Amino acid sequence: MEQWSNNACLGYIRAALERKGWSDERIKEVTGAVYHEFDFKTVEEAKRLYERSFD
Protein backbone atom coordinates (compact mmCIF):
# COMPACT_ATOMS: atom_id res chain seq x y z
CA MET A 1 0.00 0.00 0.00
CA GLU A 2 1.22 3.48 -0.80
CA GLN A 3 2.04 5.89 1.99
CA TRP A 4 -0.67 8.38 3.01
CA SER A 5 -0.18 11.90 1.72
CA ASN A 6 -2.37 14.91 2.46
CA ASN A 7 -1.32 16.42 -0.86
CA ALA A 8 -2.35 13.25 -2.72
CA CYS A 9 -5.75 13.43 -1.00
CA LEU A 10 -6.13 17.05 -2.10
CA GLY A 11 -5.03 16.05 -5.59
CA TYR A 12 -7.79 13.42 -5.79
CA ILE A 13 -10.33 16.00 -4.69
CA ARG A 14 -9.05 18.55 -7.19
CA ALA A 15 -9.09 16.02 -10.04
CA ALA A 16 -12.66 14.97 -9.25
CA LEU A 17 -13.94 18.53 -9.05
CA GLU A 18 -12.14 19.55 -12.25
CA ARG A 19 -13.74 16.56 -13.99
CA LYS A 20 -17.13 17.81 -12.76
CA GLY A 21 -16.43 21.23 -14.24
CA TRP A 22 -16.11 23.15 -10.98
CA SER A 23 -14.47 26.59 -11.12
CA ASP A 24 -10.97 27.06 -9.77
CA GLU A 25 -12.37 29.39 -7.10
CA ARG A 26 -14.78 26.74 -5.79
CA ILE A 27 -12.10 24.03 -5.94
CA LYS A 28 -9.77 26.20 -3.84
CA GLU A 29 -12.58 26.76 -1.33
CA VAL A 30 -13.20 23.01 -0.96
CA THR A 31 -9.54 21.96 -0.88
CA GLY A 32 -8.85 24.72 1.67
CA ALA A 33 -11.63 23.42 3.90
CA VAL A 34 -10.29 19.87 3.61
CA TYR A 35 -6.73 21.06 4.28
CA HIS A 36 -7.84 22.58 7.60
CA GLU A 37 -9.59 19.34 8.60
CA PHE A 38 -6.20 17.56 8.52
CA ASP A 39 -5.44 19.40 11.78
CA PHE A 40 -8.61 18.16 13.49
CA LYS A 41 -9.06 14.56 12.32
CA THR A 42 -6.77 11.56 12.29
CA VAL A 43 -6.64 9.42 9.17
CA GLU A 44 -8.64 6.74 11.01
CA GLU A 45 -11.32 9.25 12.09
CA ALA A 46 -11.66 10.55 8.53
CA LYS A 47 -11.91 6.98 7.23
CA ARG A 48 -14.71 6.14 9.67
CA LEU A 49 -16.56 9.36 8.84
CA TYR A 50 -16.41 8.57 5.13
CA GLU A 51 -17.49 4.95 5.63
CA ARG A 52 -20.46 6.04 7.78
CA SER A 53 -21.73 8.14 4.88
CA PHE A 54 -22.75 4.91 3.13
CA ASP A 55 -24.98 3.64 5.96
pTM of the model: 0.81
Contact indicator for 8, 34 with CB cutoff of 8 Å: no
pLDDT tens across 3-45, in order? 779 999 999 999 999 999 999 999 999 999 999 999 999 989 9
pLDDT at 45: 94
Cβ pair 1, 40 in contact under 8 A = no
Q: Which of 9, 15, 14, 17 is nearest to 47 (CA)?
A: 9
Give me the pLDDT at residue 1, please.
64
